[in-house]
Chain A
Amino acid sequence: MTTTVSERAWIGKDLKRREDPALLMGTVTYINDFKIAGMLHAAVLRSPYAHARIRAIDTSAARALPGVQAVLTGKEAAEVIGPVPAFCAEPVVEHAIAVEKVRYAGEAVVAVAAESRALAEDALDLVEIDWEPLPAVTDALSAMQPGAPLVHENLGTNVVYDHVFTFGDVDGDFARADHVIRRRLRWPRATAAPLEPNGAVCAYDPARDTMEIWSNTNMLNSASWVMSSMLKIPPHKLNFYPMYTGGSFGSKHFLAKVIGIAGALSKVTGRPVKFMEDRLDNLMANDSQGPERLYEAELAVTKDGQFLSLRLRTIDDYGAYFIFAITGNTNMMAQITGPYTIRSVETGIKAVLTNKNQQTVFRGAGSDVGNWVLERLVDAAAEQLGIDRVEIRRRNFIQPDQFPYKIPTGNVYDSGNYPGVLDLALGHFDLDAWRQQQAQARQEGRYLGIGLATAQQRSTYSSTEFWFHNPAPATGLNSTPESVRISVGPTGGVTVTMFSPFWGNSPETVVAQVVAEELGIDPRDVNVTYDSTAHALPSAGPGGSRMTVMLAGAVHGAAARLKEKIFKIAAHMLEASVSDLELVGGQVRVKGVPSSSVSLADIGMRAYWFKLDLPPELESGLEGTFTYDHPYTTKPHDDRKDLGVFYPIMGHAAHLVAVEVDIETGAVRFKKYVAVHDVGTVLNPRSLQGQIRGGIAQGIGLALLEEVRYGPDGQNLTSTFVDYLLPSASDVPAIEVYHHETPSPFTAYGVKGGGEGGRMVAPPAVTSAIEDALRPFGISIDEMPITPEKIVRWVKEAQSRHQRQTN
Chain B
Amino acid sequence: MKSARFRYFAPHTIAEAVQLLDEQGDEARLLAGGQSLLPLLNLRLARPSALIDLNEIQALAFIHPRNGGLVLGALTRDATLERDPLVAARQPLLVEAAHYVGHPAIRHRSTLGGSLAHADPAAELPAVMLALDAAFTLQSSTGSRTIAAAAFFKGPFQTALQHGEILTEVHLPGLPPRSGSAFLEFARREGDYALAGVAAVICLAEDGTIAQARLTLCSVAPTPLQATTAEALLRGRHPDDAAWQAAAEAVVNELKEPPADIHGSADYRRHLAGVLTRRALALAAQRAERSHS
Contacts and interface: CB of A to CB of B under 8 A. Distances in A.
Which of A116, A664, A667 has the most B CB atoms < 10 Å from its CB? A664
Contacts of A737: none
B136 interface: no
B56 to A, nearest CB: 24
A730 B190 contact: yes
Contact of A705 (B5, B189, B261, B268): B189
Nearest to A124: B44
Interface stretch (A645-653, A717-725, A776-784): A717-725
B154 to A, nearest CB: 24
B40 to A, nearest CB: 12
Interface in A773-807: 787-789, 792-793
A728 B189 contact: yes
A723 B192 CA distance: 10
A727 B262 contact: no
A730 B187 CA distance: 12
Provide the main secondary structure of the chain B interface.
Answer: loop
A709 B268 contact: no
B186 A665 contact: yes
B265 A789 contact: yes
A717 B262 contact: yes
B74 interface: no
Which of B44, B188, B192 has the most A CB atoms < 10 Å from its CB? B188
A278 interface: yes
Contacts, number: 57
B4 interface: yes
A125 B191 CA distance: 33
Contact of B189 (A121, A122, A278, A727): A727
Contact of B191 (A665, A718, A730, A787): A730
A731 to B, nearest CB: 5
Nearest to B1: A278
Nearest to A280: B1
A728 B275 contact: no
B189 A725 contact: yes
Contact of A787 (B5, B103, B188, B275): B188
A279 interface: yes
B271 interface: yes
A686 interface: no
Contacts of A116: 2
Nearest to B184: A665
A734 interface: no
A155 interface: no
Interface string B173-206: 0000000000000101111110000000000000
B264 interface: yes
A686 to B, nearest CB: 27
Which of A116, A280, A731, A789 has the most B CB atoms < 10 Å from its CB? A789
B272 A279 contact: no
A118 B262 contact: no
B186 A667 contact: yes
A765 B275 CA distance: 29
Contacts of B275: 664-665
Contacts of A727: 189
Contact of B2 (A117, A728, A789, A793): A117
Interface string A549-576: 0000000000000000000000000000
A714 B32 CA distance: 36
Which of B44, B103, B189, B265 has the most A CB atoms < 10 Å from its CB? B189
A665 B272 contact: yes
Given A728-B190, A788-B186, A788-B268, 4 more contacts: A118-B4, A730-B190, A730-B191, A731-B190
Interface of B: 1-5, 43-44, 103, 186, 188-193, 261-265, 268, 271-272, 275-276
